[in-house]
Every structure is written in C-alpha cells, then in structure tokens.
Amino acid sequence: MKQADKSELKEYLSGIVQNLPDKPGCYQYLDDRGKVIYVGKAKNLRRRVSSYFYNPKQTFKTQFLVPKIRDIRYVVVETEADALLLENKLIKNYKPHYNVLLKDDKTYQSIAITKEYLPRLVTVRRRTLRGAQYFGPYSHVPTMYALLDLCRSLYRPRPCRIPMSEEGVREGKYNVCLRYHLKRCLAPCCGKQSHADYLQNIESCREILKGNTATVSRQLRERMSELSEQMRFEEAELLRQQYVAIEQYRAKSQVVSNVDYFLDVFNIESDEKSAFINYLHVVGGAITQAFTFEYKKRLEETEAELLQMGIVEMRERYGSQSKEVVVPFEVDLPQSYIMQTVPQKGDKKKLLDLSKLNVKQYRFDRLKQAEKLNPEQKAVRLMKEIQKDLGLGSLPLRIELFDNSNLQGSDAVAACVVFDKLRPNKKEYRTYNIKTVEGPDDYASMREIVRRRYERIKEEGGQMPNLIIADGGVGQMEVIRQVVEDELRLQIPIAGLAKDGRHRTHELLFGFPPASVGMKPESELFKLLTRMQDEVHRFAITFHRKKRSQRQTHSALDDLQGVGPQTKALLLRSFGSLKRLREAPLEQLQALLGPKRGLTLYEQLHADVSHN
C-alpha cells in the first residue's frame, strides 16, 4: 500500500473511532475484501476500539490484527450482557478468521423433540428439523441412550416416522400398529390415548431431558397418592412403576451433593494452540449434562478470554437458566448476566475438581488420538516437557546416557547410548574398555569415557548432545560436569537419574548443586526416562558379559596369527589339546591346513623352543 493510501486509510478509521458512542456493543473489523475478520464486544465501544489504534503498548494480537483492518462496523446494545450474547451470535454467523472458533462437533448426537401434532423423540447429528427443541449434544453416547430409554419406557412416545395431522387422527386415517400390541406405544394416532395426555407425557420427557428428574419424580409421587386416595389402585400402580423407574435412574446418575444445587460448572486446560473447556450442568445436586469442547487459538487469547466465550456458548447451546456458574478463576462477565463463584472448599470445590478431571482426561485422549496419527507429535510434546521441566534453552533433540559395568573391578567397561528425538539411534551406540583405571572406581571410569567421547567428537567436529543423563546421582553428575565444563569448556546440560535404597529409579536431578525436578514417577515422561536408563544399563551389561565370556574361553590358540574361530575349532577337533597340537609333525599340520598355513602355524608353535 502506498504512503498516500495509508494516510487516507488512517484518517478514515480515525474518523470512525472518534465518533463511536460511549455505550456497550459489538464491533466488527473488515479486511480489504469487505469480509469480517474479527468480532469483539465492549462495555464502552469508543474506549475499547480506540485501544487498538492509540495504545502505545500493543499486544501481539493487536500488532498482528490492526494492519489488516480496512473498515469498522458496530452494533449498540442496551447492556453489557446483551453485548456478550450478541458477540457469540456474530462469531457463529461470520466465522471471523481471527476469532477463536469452536471445533466442529458434528460427530456428536443430540436428542430432538419434533414440532408436530404428535411430537416424537429422535436422535440427530445436524440440527435441521424446523421448530424442534434440541437437547445435547452428548459426547457420551450411553448417557444419551439411557435418557431415551427412560423416556420411552415411562411415557411411550410414538416411535413411528409417519407424518400425522389432527385431521387425520380425527377422521381415523391411521391404524393400530404392532408397536401398540408390544406396548411400545399408546396409539394416540387412533384415539386410544388422548391428545392432551400424550402432550403431557411429552412435557414430562422434556423435563427429564432438561435434567429435572427430581421434579418429575415429585409430580409422580403426588399424583400416585391422589389416585390411591380415590381408590383408583390400578392407575396408581402404573404411576408407581414409573416412579420406581425414574428413581432408579436418578440413583445411577452421578449425584454430587445432597444440597439442591442448580448451577453450571466450567474448567479449562490450554496449551500453545488449543484450549479445552469442560461444562457440567448440575440440577438438584446431580450432574445432568457433561460436555467437553475445544477452541483453536488464533491470536494468543488468554484462558480468561476463552473461558468467558465458552461459558456464553455452552449456556446458550444447552439453554441453561441457572443463575450461578462455578469457575476456577473470575471471568469478565456482567453481574446482570450471571453470578460467579470461585470455591476453595466444600461441594462446589468438589464439582470444580471433577470438571478439572474431565477436561484433563479429554485433552489427554485427544493428544493420544493425534499422536497415533502422527508419532512425531508425541516426541515433540515430551521433548517440550523435558525442556520446560529442566529450563533448557532448546529442545533436547539429542540425548546421551552413560553407564559403567564391572565385576569386582575386573573386565571394567562402559557404554554410551544415543537418543535422537527420544528414539534410540543404535548406530551411534558406543562401548568402551576402561584403560586407565585399576580396580572398581566408577567415578574415575566415568571421567575417562566422558573425556574420550567428547574429546573425539570435538576433534572430528561431530554432533554434540543437547542433554547428558548420568545413570546415577550427584557424584556421577559432578564427575561429568568436571570433564565437560572444566576440562573441555563445553556447555551441555547434565541431569542424573538417582535410585533409592531398593535400586529403583525414584527421581530426576538437575542443576548444580543438583536438585530434584519433582517429576511424578507415574508420569509418562518419567517412565520414558526410566526406559532410556534401562537401555544404557542393558547395553553396558551385555558388553561386560561378552568381554568376561571371551576372557574365560581364551586360550593360547587365540594369540596365534591366522587362527580364527573356524580354524581353532578344526584344530581342537583334530588334536584335542594344545599339547598334542605342539607334538604334531609339520607334515600332519600341512596336510590339514595346506603347505603355507601349516608351516606358519608350526613355526609359531615352536618359536619359543627354537628361541631357547
């Protein structure tokens, strides 16, 4: 854009901003194509919109958004609560690119009560039925069908899909079907159930789907008592069966308090890209709705901003009329819209904790699902956790672990294993024979192999690790630090996996002086680090056993030139022992091995004798 055009645009937008009213409302930013790219709400339109253009301390969101604005629209409303609701509707309508959007939930089903002369209860994925009342969506399908089964067993709404009109029922156009004889329908289409009675049953179903099971149960009990007093015992028995069924359902639902709470509970978990919000609707002390959903972040929105949007979205979607919300922290919501509670103890705190448990589980399940499709994503997530927990400057893309192995100081060896992006890179595994240390001195052995490894990598210009992990505690870490930092002048973070008295890994150490990171042993990351430690231990032990086995089976034949495993086996089969081999004449050896090889072996066997 030319400088003249920029000046003209700035003047145009300034004119709009300066003439905005000091009233609550919603504003819309448009791009150069006239498309709405952002929708926001405000207690004071002029003050809020001005902050985008005239505030010297702009957030990243503002710096990114303002250069794309070419026009501004606004809608004035009466109250701040109206602005909140209008913002939600405008975002749904325009789907602006820079507003967070609720992820598509078309896979979740809802229950609909149709708008007909004889309404039906049906399950739907898309809300396209004209005039229908919807309940849900239900992320837990068994809950949805439990509610449907309860309504159908109690009130038997017609299950058929035939369009039925008042004229058709009055003129007798419909016939009794098999479902009536199976007692799955009361045949209102044929006048066997009155229209008023049928609508009363549908209203009871509506109350159950709203979660007002306590109200329905109380009405049934009162009506049952009335019928009993009137000596209408058969009708009272039918109501008693309904009452028992609904009480059994209420017993199975998750009752959280004896207090007759009527409220909504929200909790949130977020990361760099997404936010997950859990919603619980509590009626009569029992959870009647539970749903977790996801927002995709666009402009580094805070948890408070996202939770505010989630509260408005879910209350509108589920038609909640509760006057109180339980939240983990206060959100910018008008008092006229809802009362907020941030509990510290008691039943409401238990509800908040339950909501937190649900949102964490949902987030974990989504991550697992994504990581199955993209295994690289899991590695990046765990590396970010390591980076965060240890305060590293970069991702630990390459991790190296060391371990020593010896038997009472004999056959001392060491091993180094390499993990690239948390996967074992076995081509880079290395084993070391300890050369400069006598006796069982683990610290001296560790000092030798670390020095040998990183001196060589340094000389050859190889790849240094982003993190070194010692198979041990404070002592091993300090030895590695002395070599890496003091001797070689390298800046490589060093951690240690320490064991308890039962030789079980129980903590991750980091820093100097080393301190426990506080990682839970049952966490996914700690289990991964433990497996990495097991791998270096396995590799070192395997090499140590191999070396010890070679020493124990070593003989004088192993020191002879040109005698490999196959030749050694052939000689032992033919002569049985080294003594008999030495006593064998040259001709016999040449006949077995050939003239040249036989002569070479004969000369080596008798070299000490001829020398003397």
**Per-residue three-class SS string for 421-464:** CCEECHHHCEEEECCCCCCCCHHHHHHHHHHHHHHHHHHHCCCC
Q: At what angle do helices 565-575 and 586-593 cross, to 10 degrees?
A: 130
Q: How far apart are CA 272 and CA 274, in angstroms?
A: 6
Q: How far apart are CA 348 and CA 327, in angstroms?
A: 10
Token pair for 71 = 């026009």
Same domain for 397 and 270?
no
Neighbours of 217 (CB within 10 A): 20
Same domain for 321 and 435?
no
Nearest of 420, 606, 362, 389 to residue 519 by alpha carbon: 389
Residue 46 lies in a domain: yes
What are φ and ψ of residue 402, in 5° steps?
A: -120, 150
Provide the pLDDT for residue 198. Answer: 92
Provide the pLDDT for residue 480. Answer: 92
Residue 346 lies in a domain: yes
pLDDT tens digits, 150-200 = 788 878 899 888 888 888 888 888 888 888 888 889 889 988 889 999 999
Token pair for 135 = 């309940």
Which residues lie closer than 8 Å to 519 by C-beta, 6 or more apart? Answer: 389, 507, 508, 525, 526
Provide the pLDDT for residue 482. Answer: 92
Cis omega (within 30 of 0) for bond into 513: yes
Question: Which one of 501, 532, 550 terminates a domain?
Answer: 550
| Predicted TM-score (pTM) of this structure | 0.51
Which residues lie closer than 8 Å to 475 by C-beta, 6 or more apart? Answer: 443
One-letter amino acid of 85:
L
Same domain for 411 and 343?
no
Q: What is the CATH number of the domain that holds 445?
A: 3.30.420.340
Residue 213 lies in a domain: no
Residue 147 lies in a domain: no
One-letter amino acid of 561:
Q
State the sign of the Cα–Cα–Cα–Cα dihedral 333, 336, 337, 340.
positive
Provide the pLDDT for residue 180. Answer: 86
Nearest of 205, 227, 285 to residue 251 by alpha carbon: 285
Token pair for 358 = 């649900």
Same domain for 283 and 312?
yes
Provide the pLDDT for residue 377. Answer: 77
Which residues lie closer than 8 Å to 393 by C-beta, 6 or more apart? Answer: none
Provide the pLDDT for residue 120. Answer: 92
Question: Which one of 500, 533, 550 terminates a domain?
Answer: 550
Same domain for 401 and 282?
no
State the sign of the Cα–Cα–Cα–Cα dihedral 81, 83, 84, 88.
positive
One-letter amino acid of 213:
T
Check: CB of residue 398 under 8 Å from CB of residue 466.
yes
Q: At what angle do helices 303-318 and 80-94 cross, to 10 degrees?
A: 80
Residue 94 lies in a domain: yes
Instruction: Give the dihedral of Cα atoms 296, 302, 306, 311; nearest 10 deg.
Output: 160
Check: CB of residue 508 under 8 Å from CB of residue 528.
no
Provide the pLDDT for residue 285. Answer: 66
Tally of domains in the chain: 4
Instruction: Name residues of the chain where pLDDT drops below 50.
Output: 255-256, 409, 552-553, 610-612
Q: Is 463 helix (H, G, I), strand (E, B) or coil?
A: coil
Provide the pLDDT for residue 66. Answer: 87
Nearest of 506, 529, 530 to residue 518 by alpha carbon: 506
Give me the domain span that covers residue 448: 385-550
Same domain for 413 and 546?
yes
Q: How far apart are CA 310 and CA 316, in angstroms?
A: 10
Question: For the residues of 519-532, what is the DSSP string, one character each?
Answer: --TTSHHHHHHHHH
Q: Is 228 helix (H, G, I), strand (E, B) or coil?
A: helix
Residue 264's DSSP bridge partners are: 281, 325
* C-alpha 347: how far from chain center: 27
One-letter amino acid of 334:
P
Question: Which one of 99, 120, 138 terminates a domain?
Answer: 99
Q: What is the CATH number of the domain that holds 310?
A: 3.30.420
DSSP 8-state code for residue 132: -
Token pair for 134 = 């919807």
Same domain for 393 and 526?
yes
Residue 140 lies in a domain: no
Provide the pLDDT for residue 342. Answer: 93
Q: At what angle do helices 375-390 and 347-373 cross, to 10 degrees?
A: 130
Q: How far apart are CA 270 and CA 296, in angstroms?
A: 10
Neighbours of 376 (CB within 10 A): 10
Check: CB of residue 112 under 8 Å from CB of residue 52.
no
Using CA atoms, how far residue 238 sits from 153, 429, 610, in Å, is 12, 76, 117
Residue 188 lies in a domain: no
Q: How far apart are CA 284 and CA 212, in angstroms?
A: 8
Residue 543 lies in a domain: yes
Question: For the residues of 286-351, what is the DSSP string, one character each?
Answer: EEEEEEEEEEE-SS---HHHHHHHHHHHHHHHHT---SEEE-SS-----TTT-EEE--SSSHHHHH
pLDDT tens digits, 257-280 = 556 678 999 999 988 788 899 988
Q: How far apart are CA 178 and CA 270, in angstroms?
A: 53
Same domain for 425 and 352?
no
Token pair for 314 = 């879910």
Nearest of 421, 473, 417 to residue 449 by alpha carbon: 417
Q: How far apart are CA 416 and CA 480, in angstroms?
A: 13
Nearest of 114, 150, 118 to residue 133 by alpha carbon: 114
Q: What is the CATH number of the domain that holds 65?
A: 3.40.1440.10
% helix, strand, coil for the chain, step of 5? 50, 20, 30
What Rg, from alpha-carbon coordinates, does the chain have? 39
One-letter amino acid of 63:
Q
Same domain for 296 and 336?
yes
Token pair for 287 = 């959870």
Q: How far apart are CA 387 and CA 467, in angstroms?
A: 10
Neighbours of 324 (CB within 10 A): 15
Same domain for 319 and 390?
no
Same domain for 505 and 568?
no
Q: Is 367 helix (H, G, I), strand (E, B) or coil?
A: helix
Same domain for 393 and 361?
no
